[in-house]
Every structure is written in C-alpha cells, then in structure tokens.
Amino acid sequence: MPRRLAVVLVVLALTAGRSSAALVPSISNDLRGRAVSAFQAETLDGKLFTSEDLAGRSTLVNCFASWCPACNMELTELQTLRPELAQRGVAVVTVLVDPVETPDTVGEARRMLEHDPLPFRVLLMTPAMRDVFKYEGFPATYIINADGTFSTTLFGYHPAAELREATDDFGRGAAAASALGLGSVESAAERHAPWEGHPFAAFLPAGWKQWHPLVVHFPIALLVLEALCLCALVVSPRADLSRASRALLWAAVLSLIPAVYTGIHDAGLDLGPGSPFLNGLKDRAAHFLRIESSVSLHVLFGFATISLAVARLAWLTAAGEAVLDSRQRFVFAALALLGVWILFAGTQIGGAISHH
C-alpha cells in the first residue's frame, strides 16, 4: 500500500506543474500600454474572432472556468453591469479557459452555456491567446483601450462596483488602479507590509483576513520534529525519544484542527454570502479531485498528510509503547517520513498559491 501511494503522489506532483490556481483578488499594471498582439480564436458557436475585433472600442475581456464558483459570481456581476457598460460604449467578451485548463470539461461547459447562455460573446481559449494575454489563472479581467492597448488587469473575483470603477476611465494610468481601493488590495509589486522599515511591528498582531498561512506552520513544524525524533529512535532506541515523538505527534494532530478550519474558511471567503467555512467546505468537496487546480491539489495533499498522521496516532494509541520499542518502529518512522514528503509537496503548492 505505501508503494502504491507513493506512485500516485509522484504522478500527482508531476501533474501539478501544469496547474493554475484560482486567483486571489489583485490588480496588475504589468501589461498597461502594451499593444494586444495578433491572435485568432473561435467563439462558442463556431465563428472566427481575431484581435482586430477588439479595435475601435473599449473592451472588457473576462476569462473564466466553467466549474469555478468565483468565476460564475463575477459573470453574474458582469451581466448586472451589461446595460451600463453598453451605454458607455464598453464591449464585454468572455473567454472560456476550459480548453487549456481542463479539456475534459469543455463538452459539459458547452451544454451548460447552451442551456443558460451568456449575453456576451464567448471565446474558447487557445495556447496562442493565453500567451498574448499573459494568462496566469482564473478569473481574470483584462481591460483593453479603444486603441488596442492594455489598461488595468484584475485578477481574482471582483464585485460589480470594482468592475465599474475599473472601466470608468480607460487609459487613466496608475490612478485607475488606486481608485479601485479593493480594501487596500494592490498588485504584488505595490503591496507593502506594515513591518517593512519597522521590523518591531511584526511582533504585534496583524489584521489578517486569511489566517491559514499563519496557523498552518505549527503542524508543519511539529510533524517535521516528530519525524526527526523517530529517525533518532531508529538509530538509538531511548525512552525519552519515544516520549518526545509521541508528544509531538499528539500536538501535531491537535494543531491540524485550526489549520484545517482556517484553510476551508479562507477558501470560502470570496464565494458569496453566508458562512465562509460552509461555502469553502462545499466548494472543496465539489472540486476535491480537480487536480488541474492548484488549490484542489493543495487540499488533496493536505488530506493525505492528515490521514496519515491520524492513522499513525490511532496505531500508536491502540498498540502502545510496543510500536516504538520493537521493530515496528522502522515501519512507523518510514510512514512518518512519507508523511513529511507528502507535506512538502502540499506546502510547495500552498506556498506557490500564496506567493501568486
């Protein structure tokens, strides 16, 4: 069983390199002023769409995945804004990213959009179009000036008020981004932490909206320390090492409770009204095996880490000290190291999500 699990995890890790995460809300000016390069795409109804179709009119291009809850919320916001944007001469074009993200869902997405069509042109994302827009994930909104140059780019879900402000004045420059506010959400290059230049500020509690990146460090450290204790126990069986490893495993499993709760809570923060935890739980359950998503992969590896830690604790509780005092400690230590390896994969993906 451990060998099969290891093979599955290696395959998943190799697959993860091609994954894109659902993006957190942010603003980017990296493309501002650049001309939209030539590209061709097909609409959902089979018509040709080219970059020339963007010329002469301000356009909002929204990229969405058919199975992304945040994307669907943003599409609803755009439909609400449609009459206002049309009156101001702003065109809206949507881009279904399933062809490059999850090709297996394109057929289902077609059926869904035929049953409940959008009032906008829907393009099918292509690799060439992905390169033109420097596409990094979904949802993403690109605002294009009438002269065919990029203006502000919005990553992640944005409500109607923020989408409206983003299109208030095309070509406004950096003022367009600062006017959005977004509760002080800025591009990564423009965001400054309170302790930059004031290191002692880091000793004071910060007003975090998302707690998971902070809380999750405790079970990580405890599981790594427990694995080190077990490795030492394999080399030199000692009662103090046995007690230390048992205490560390108990502490790690208990610390996983707030880590799991905050992770699910943070996942549901931007998924509409109601309890963020329940919203996040429903969303993660619905997309648990969607390995094309970095968020789903992070949860999958986290679930494997938790399951292995809880199973080892149950074994240790049921069998008592015999597990660590006999030859069984070799298997127990090997499972702990496997758990750390899985943990490394999960934290690598999680760190990429937070950094992104």
Q: Write the pLDDT tens digit of every residue in 283-295.
A: 888 878 877 677 8
pLDDT at 192: 58
Q: What are residue 20's DSSP bridge partners?
A: 293
pLDDT at 184: 36
pTM reported for the whole predicted model: 0.59
pLDDT at 204: 79
Tell me how long the chain is. 356
Question: What is the pairing mode between strands 59-64 and 91-96?
Answer: parallel
Fold of the domain spanning 26-184: Glutaredoxin (3.40.30)
107 C-beta neighbours (distance < 10 Å), count:
10
Angle at which helices 217-235 and 239-267 pack, to 10 degrees? 160
Separation between Cα atoms, residue 59 and residue 144, nearest integer Å? 5
What Rg value do the Cα atoms of the chain yield, rounded?
24
Each residue of 68-101: b (16+ CB within 10 Å) or e? Answer: bbbbbbbbebbeebeeebeeeebbbbbbbbbbbb
pLDDT at 320: 82
Residue 100 phi/psi, 5° resolution?
Answer: -105, -20
Residue with tokens 């992304």: 68
pLDDT at 270: 66
Q: Annotate 78-101 with DSSP letters as a single string.
A: HHHHHHHHHHTT-EEEEEE-HHHH
Do residues 121 and 94 make contact, with C-beta atoms less than 8 angstroms apart? yes
Coil vs helix vs strand at 52:
helix
pLDDT at 25: 75
Do residues 45 and 31 make contact, with C-beta atoms less than 8 angstroms apart? no
pLDDT at 334: 93
- The ranges assigned to domains in the chain are 2-16+213-355, 26-184
**Per-position pLDDT tens, the chain of length 356:** 444 444 334 433 433 333 345 677 788 888 888 999 999 999 988 999 998 888 888 999 999 998 888 888 899 889 999 999 988 889 999 999 999 888 888 998 999 898 889 999 999 999 999 999 999 888 999 999 988 899 989 998 888 888 888 887 554 443 444 444 433 334 433 445 677 777 887 787 777 777 888 899 999 999 999 999 999 999 988 888 899 999 999 999 999 999 999 999 888 876 667 888 998 898 888 878 877 677 888 899 999 999 999 999 999 999 887 888 888 889 999 999 999 999 999 988 887 766 44
Do residues 58 and 131 make contact, with C-beta atoms less than 8 angstroms apart? no
DSSP single-letter state for residue 25 = S
